[in-house]
Amino acid sequence: MEQGDVRVILLILIVVICIIFWRFQKWSAGSSRRRGRIRRHANIPEDDVVELLEAVGFEVLAGKTKIPITMTVGEREQLESRLFIDYFVQKEDDIYLVKVARERKPLEMTGSAVRDMLLPYTLIYPEAQGILYVDMTVSKIKKITFHIEV
């Protein structure tokens, strides 16, 4: 092996190590960004829902959160909407999204109704373990998880 061959091999080795290091940095930053999307809020309201969630062992991380959505229709027309998540809670290492039952928009407990109303939240926050549907009229919490087969 000649001296030029050794230099080329060392150069290739350095480039490969740099690429591996760069990919590791990118991967670790991406995974922490995904985990850190749910921020804690200092101004969590003290209401009946929070009391019920804390009574069963959940720590309330954040209150009402607005998720703005912009849609483009036909390349020109822009539509805007939003989704609201009532609370983010944590129990042990598991994070859950919380939706509170509303009188004017009750959730019918059928597969299609639950899917249509709650699946978008799971898709927006895949790091959440599920959704807690809180019905304060009966002081009940239902844990809903989606298992999607592709």
Pairing assessment for the beta strands 77-85 and 65-73 based on DSSP bridges: antiparallel
For 66, the token pair is 């607005």
Render pLDDT for 93-143 as a digit per residue (tens, 0 to 9): 899 999 999 888 888 889 999 999 999 998 888 889 999 999 998 989 999
Residue 3's pLDDT band (boundaries 50, 70, 90)? confident
pTM (2 d.p.):
0.69
DSSP-derived letter for residue 33 is: H
Q: Mean pLDDT across the stretch 6-13? A: 88
Residue 73: phi and psi, rounded to 5, are -115, 120
Per-residue pLDDT, 37 = 65
- pLDDT digit string (tens) for 69-90? 999 998 888 999 999 999 999 9
Q: Are 146 and 122 in contact (CB under 8 A)?
A: yes
